[in-house]
Amino acid sequence: MTRRWFITGGTPGGLGVAFAEAALETGDRVALTSRRPQELAAWAHEYGDRVLVVPLDVTDAAQVRHAVQTVEDEFGGIDVVVNNAGRGWFGSIEGMAESTVRAMFELNFFAVLSVARAVLPGMRARGSGWIVNVSSVAGLVAATGFGYYSATKFAIEAVTETLREEVAGQGISVLTVEPGAFRTNAYAGFADEPVAEPIPEYRDMLEQVKATFVEMDGVQPGDPRRGARAVLAAMAQDSPPRRLVLGNGGFDAVVDTLEGALADIRSNEELSRSADFPD
């Protein structure tokens, strides 16, 4: 059966386009949203009416509802949603401007909720559907200098876990995807972005964080096309996973971090258990 996809965060060379192309390879139809839809016009033209490019700022809940309604009217429904839109800013926990923190949560967290809430009524009515929330390795491994970005992705992890349980009985599947470093344009703007850190004690650390990302730009190990295909392969399994980490480096970092966290928790088991009232 041909599935109908709704994918946010469409930019040339990005994961959103990679997800779209992977879905199109299977014969599906795709609606891809973008704040700059003109950048996707030539790409979309190749696929004719199988692709619908939808202008959308995902941080505007009214626009989200309108975009979802537009796609449901055009395609007759939405079977798969990929919440892919998002980005990160670097800065210290103490020094990052509150306005920047809030903007990051609006894009990386609240926009995901807006999309999910807009598509779920149709999925519930049909008794089927997929929601794929793109988190990050940073949603499982806190990243120094990107603490608030990690916080937005940790929040996505929690909401997605709960959503999965709430909709499982209604025929809706939910998957969290945690990409590592993928060769997209995500790091392209770091070279020109100043370290806007008001606290001198953190500047050297953040300059090094910035330099690392600038150095990685264009040589990230992750292949967006292979990553998107891996997600589709996971969705096609008889027992799909709850989450899928993408990339060798990301996989190793997540496993090491979670095993370390488990060891740390177990090392204080006696203290943990001592906190209850005595039997």
| pLDDT per residue as tens digits for the range 28-59 | 999 999 999 999 999 999 999 999 999 999 99
Q: Are 5 and 78 in contact (CB under 8 A)?
A: yes
Model confidence band, residue 218 (pLDDT cutoffs 50, 70, 90): confident
Which CATH superfamily, name and number, covers 4-272? NAD(P)-binding Rossmann-like Domain (3.40.50.720)
Residue linked to tokens 């703007």 = 189
Selecting among 148, 149, 187, 202, the annotated active-site residue is 149
Average pLDDT, integer, range 124-140: 97
**Is the pLDDT assigned to residue 141 strictly greater than 80?**
yes
The per-residue pLDDT of the chain, averaged, comes to 95
Note if 202 is an active site residue. no
pLDDT class of 86 with cuts at 50, 70, 90: very high
For residue 149, indicate whether it is catalytic: yes
From 34, 92, 114, 135, active-site residue: 135
Percentage of the residues of the chain whose pLDDT score is greater than 70? 100
Give the pLDDT of residue 120: 98
Q: What is the pLDDT of residue 158?
A: 98
Residue 24 CA to residue 198 CA, distance in Å, equals 47
3-state DSSP assignment of residue 173: strand
Q: From the CB of residue 232, how many other CB atoms can be counted at a distance below 10 Å?
A: 16
For 182-217, letters b (16+ CB in 10 Å) and e give bbbebbeebeeeebebeeeebeeebeebbeebbeeb
Per the annotation, the verdict on 148 as an active-site residue is no
In this predicted structure, the answer to whether residue 122 has a pLDDT above a threshold of 80 is yes
Please say whether the dihedral angle defined by the alpha carbons of residues 240, 31, 15 and 125, taken in this order, is positive or negative: negative
Structure tokens at 20: 């779209």
pLDDT of residue 161: 98
Note the pTM of the prediction, 2 decimals: 0.94
- Provide mean pLDDT across the span 157-170: 98
pLDDT band of residue 231 (cuts 50, 70, 90) is very high
Q: What percent of the chain has pLDDT over 90?
A: 87
pLDDT at 213: 86
